[in-house]
Amino acid sequence: MVSTTKVPEDFSVSLDNWFKHNRNKTVGDLLDFFGEKSFAVLFLTFMFIPALPVPTAGITTVLLVPSTVIAALQMIFGRRSLWMPNRVTRIKINTNVLQKAIPFMIRRIRWLEKFSRPRLSAIFDVAPFCTLTGLIVLVFTLGAQFAPPFSGLDTLPAMGVVLIALAIILEDISIYIVGAIVGSLGVGLLVTAASAIILFFRHLF
């Protein structure tokens, strides 16, 4: 379920306070803290890293992207609460890659919040729209997963998921549309690159 509950402060402030003051910084605690926003928070947190053009030491392929796929499938089938394997919920956020990524992510969210406001917020509660969102996130996430290593082709599909997640959290359909466009461009580039490689080998052999 994509339905969001209003938070009395900006999302970036809530996330920053949680990150700074919560002692047991695990993925499970983060998802519990944001409750009905948990789907979007997981999409945002886990896909923000592959959206960055930096090496991730395999954490993206092995853990972050597969977890996002699991969450997207649950959204497609209409689950109202997010379930994640214990292996995922026990991940410590204050270590390794996530420790560096989240403060950077918070700064970017804070900048976006200056321009965002609720637009067509009611649509985020509509069941067919939630299913559509799950499908879009699934396609973009698989695009990021199957992009060739070190090609940079995973960046745009992952960024599309990040923007869609922020649109859900901020209830802003304009950000959602931008995210859908960015992710679609990324998947399009990936398909074009794959087609070019296939044609090359066909001519070669």
pLDDT of residue 109: 92
How large is the average pLDDT for residues 95-107?
75
Angle at alpha carbon of residue 11, lines to 70 and 175, rounded to 5°: 70
How large is the average pLDDT for residues 138-149?
86
- CA-nearest of 138, 149, 45, 48 to 88 is 45
pLDDT of residue 83: 92
- Bigger pLDDT: 8 vs 19: 19
Tell whether the torsion through CA atoms of 105, 180, 170 and 73 is positive or negative. negative
- CA-nearest of 134, 157, 163, 135 to 145 is 157
- Indicate the pLDDT class of residue 18, thresholds 50, 70 and 90: confident
Of 5-9, 59-63, 134-138, which has the strongest mean pLDDT?
Answer: 134-138
Contact 144, 48 (CB under 8 A): no
Contact 170, 118 (CB under 8 A): yes
Q: Is the pLDDT of residue 58 over 60?
A: no
- Bigger pLDDT: 34 vs 178: 178
The residue ranges of DSSP E strands in 91-130, in sequence order, are none
- Measured in whole angstroms, the distance separating CA 1 from the mean position of its chain's CA atoms is 15
- Bigger pLDDT: 36 vs 128: 128
Alpha-carbon distance 176 to 118, whole Å?
A: 11
φ, ψ of residue 172 to 5 degrees: the values are -125, 105
How large is the average pLDDT for residues 18-25?
78
Q: Is the pLDDT of residue 107 over 70?
A: yes
Q: Is the pLDDT of residue 8 over 60?
A: no
